[in-house]
Each structure stands twice: as C-alpha cells, then as structure tokens.
Structure 1
Amino acid sequence: MNILLWHVHGSWTTAFVQGPHTYLVPVTPDRGPDGRGRAETFAWPSAVREVPPEQLANTPVDLLVLQRPHEEELATRWLGGRRPGKDVPTVYLEHNAPRGDVPDTRHPAADRRDLTLVHVTHFNRLFWESGSTRTAVIEHGIVDPGHQYTGRLPRAAVVVNEPVRRRRYVGTDLLPLLAEAAPLDVFGMRTEGLAAHLGLTSDRCRTADLPQERLHGAMAERRLYLHPVRWTSLGLSLLEAMHLGMPVVALATTEAVEAVPAGAGTLSTRPEVLARAARHYLAEPEAAARDGARARQAALERYGLKRFLDDWERLIAEVRS
C-alpha cells in the first residue's frame, strides 16, 4: 500500500513509517516545509520514498495523511485532480492542542463526512470542536531507544524547541524558579540566548541543539527529565525520556496527567512542588533510578511501537473499507 504524507513531525513520522507499507514523502528542490523529503537526523527505513510533486499525478496512492490545512489543496493539485476523501481515502492527523478560543476552537476539518480526523491524545480530541467529522484517537508510539539512564550528572534535562518565542506555551517563564532547584540543560532547536533572556548564569541554564542520534544519550546522563510545558500536545520528548528510564517532573497539564503514572515522577500544577521534586532527585539518585525504571515500564506498556502500529492498521482498514 502507498501512503502519502508530508514530513511535518520527525519523531511521530519515525514511528509511523515502521509499518508494513510504502511511505511517499514529497520532496522539492529547496526541501522547504512542503517538500522536506526523508529525514536527515532520524533513522527511517528504505520503505520511505521521496517523490517530487510532478511525479505524484501518475503515482498510485492508497491512503492520504493530511496534517496541515493547506495540504488538501496541495494534494488535489499534485495528485492530478484526485480529491482527498472522495477519490483517495484520507485521514487528517492532528498533532496539536487547539489554540485561540479554547474550548470552542473549531478544527479545520470540522463537519467533514469524507474523512476521519485522528488525534494523538484524548485531551486533544476533547478540546477540539470537530462538528460531525468522525474522530479517532491513536496515541503515540515510540521506537524504543532502550534503557540508557545513568543519571550521573546532577542536572535536569529539558527538551523544547524555540523557548524564547513560544514562552508561556512551553513554560519558559517557569525556568528561573526551576533552575534554582536544579541546573538545567535545555535541548532543542533555536535555544541559543535562553540563559541571557532569563537572566540566568550559564551554569544554571545551558543549551544545545543535538542531532537525534546524540540526544537520547545526553538526556539519559541527566538526573531527571523536566517538562514545564503549559499548553501543547503531549511532547514526544517526555515519552522518550520515560523510555530511557528517566524520572519525570512535569506540569500536570494537557495529556501529561494520563501519560505519567504514580511512582514514575511528580506531576503538579504548582511550580514550587516541581522544584521540590527536582531537589529530591538530585539528592537521592537511587530514588531517581527507581522512579525512572517505573516510568520506562509504564511507557513501554502504553506507548509501545507495536500497539501504535496495530492501532493504525485497524484504522487504515476501516477508512479504506
């Protein structure tokens, strides 16, 4: 089966393309947002094929996965007039929690009877207003990086992209308080200048943009994983940290309250409680390792790759029937 999707979310796509199909990803000469092609920093199998837009009109497509509103128009044009949902079985995959007039934010695919809207968390489905569109939830799956945790460095790992620009969405404003409890190593894209922006010394807040093959090892050396995010979808970095065997200290917001069970870390809406938990893990490395082991077991059970791919196979069969 040929599945057409755009390379939008590298971590999610890495799990999705582990399935038994051929995955077509558009590629343009500039490798811009609508034609990134194959990932450069994630390990994708050979079943992922780059296809220039001009070749798609003559390429069989058995399923179309939309992830952004404008992709429907692109697909219609690039597929030679074949219409998503009418001529090609289609799902719209929503990665994000709604923004704007929450909880009344209307989804771009609302009131569509010709496609299925797939959410990656139950929280997202609850908060998006989708009208009569059929909805489903397929929770994340993770390609298991293995139990790499050592926690040898008494620091907290944070993974967030563009923390200066995204500010309150990702809890950037909470980092000075949390940095008093545990020095932070912030990994992600466009993190440069964060310490100066927050008025922190370089020792209390360090940043690095690491390729995926180095990121997991660097995270696992830190004593705990800190997730200060207020309002995004469930971060895959949180689930990856749990797979690594890291204890989690996280804001009790969005889907995090479902993902992190008791005994795997600390969840709270009070930043001072998170700071206290971070201090505890820095002082008690054995407790951190025990909670991290429980976090890994919980992540394997709920967010394992096999369950994720099986869920998608069932949905694909339904959509194409």
Structure 2
Amino acid sequence: MTDFDTAPDIAHVRSSLTQIKPTPGTVAFRVFNTIFLTLLSLVTIYPFVNLVAKAFSSDGEIAAGHVNLWPRGFTTTTFHFVLTDPMFWLNYRNTLVYTVLGTVIAMAITTTFAYAISRPNLRGRGFFVGIAVFTMFFGGGLIPNYILVTQWLHMRNTIWAIVLPGALSVFNLLVMKSFFENFPTELEEAASLDGLSTYGVFFRVVMPLSKAVLATMTLFYAVGAWNSWFGAFLYLDDKTKFPVMMYLRNLIAGATGSVDIAGNANDAVQIGQNIQSVTMLLTVLPIVCVYPFVQKYFVSGVMLGSVKG
C-alpha cells in the first residue's frame, strides 16, 4: 500500500470541517468583528469621499455646509483653472522627480546598510547599529541641520537638499536588518560555493528573494517623499523647483490666492473655497493608485522584517 492510498482525502476533510457548527462565542465574535471593521472602514473612507464631493461642488454650497457625500451645485470650474495653471504642472513634475530619485537613493542606502549590519561576522557591527539607533532618539535640531545643508554642503536651491537629508529611515533600516538576519544562510553558502562574491550573493540571491520587504519599504519611502513639503519650505526659494505639496501648502496658507489663478473676480469667488479640495484630490490620486500594486506585499513585508524567528 502506497502513501497515496493511506493519505486522507483532502476534499473529505475540508467538507467535514465546514460542517462543524461554530460556538455562540465564535458567532458573536464574527458579528462584532464585521460590524467594527465596517464602521472603521466607513470612518476611514468618509474624509476622502467628502473631499471628492467638495472638489465638484460650488463655493456657496461648501460655505453653507451642505456638502457631505454628494456634490452640491456641481461644477468643474476649479479643475479647469488648476489644470491650466503652468505652475501646478511644473510642481507636479518636480514631485515626480523628487519621489523617484529620493526613493531610489533611499532604497540603495537602506538595503546595503541593512544587509551589512545583519551579518554576524561584520567587524564593528554593534558600533554601526548603535550609531543608527542613536539618531532615532537624538538629533542636531532644525537650525544645525539648516546650516549643514545650506552653508556646509551648499545644497540650497538644489534637488539634493530635498532627496538627501531624508535618504535613510532608521525604522526601515531596522526592519530590513531583521529580515536579512532571518534569511536562510544555506542559500548564501550555496551561492558562495558556486563562486559568487559577496556582491553577487546580495544582488543575485538575496535581493530577488526579498520582494515583499523591498516593496513595503519602497512604498514607505515613496509616500514620505510624495507628501513631503517642509524640506522644500526650508531649502528652496525658487518657485519653479517647488514640489506640488508646496503648491498646495501655499494655497492653504494663502500665499497663493485664488485671484492669481482665476481670470476675474467672479471666478475667484467660485474657486475660493473648493480649490483646496481640488488640489488635494489631484495630488493624492497618484499615490493612492500605487497601493493596489503593492498591497499583497505590504503586510507580509512588515511582518517578515519585524518578527525575529
């Protein structure tokens, strides 16, 4: 008799499990869990739906507080003025460049640093880990950082002032370090026996098998770079180099009035209240569209790198 003859029928086992009657406690937990998660989802989604509704509503309806989940006084006038504003598209392009370049640099530094300090045979490993952890609790402060970037490094009004100061997140570094520590050493030893160098093992073996944590860290860095505006506020004076979040910040702060975008006073009144909603909607859509492509890696990537087995 073969092992296949003695193996249980999987389909029969599954059907038997489905026929087990859940206990009252299990039913109550499922009902409570469903209601709780539904309410939590609605609370999370409502601000975004309200933002979309305001983007297509008239200024008067928004000011009167009549807009909740559905547009009132439907209009696309504001979209027309924002989308035809050359500065908006210039800042949008800058944000794309800053996000892509900043994420590439950050991932290159984080992956190589994390892999190096994850090796137990690295000399001075504790020293390098200590330096990284030290920066999580102690920083030079805003003024010293400003002097360092502008006077010592001479990066004021350059792209490097945006992408380099935040190129390494210690949290992401520690997550990736933990992930690499749990990586099967047998694979690395086998690759070394096949003649691969340390760099060959890292790029041809470790990196292809680390897609989950790499996708998660890429998402973290990309979202942070896309939403960043304070660095541009500090280090950039040229409006043509601003990211789109600075464009949005200036609208909210009143630095760029609606009259500057609108052609006349009537259009200015129309744009005054909902221009912020339109701009926020246009700036948040691209990064929201990225989530479905990395969602399957998100939870597994964080868990693989945060729990040491």
Normalising by the smaller structure, the TM-score range is under 0.3
Structure with the largest fraction of strand = 1
Question: Which gives a bigger RCO, structure 1 or 2 (Cα 8 Å, sep 6+)?
Answer: 2
**Higher Cα Rg: structure 1 or 2?**
2
Give the alignment's TM-score, normalised by structure 2.
0.21
Give the alignment's TM-score, normalised by structure 1.
0.21
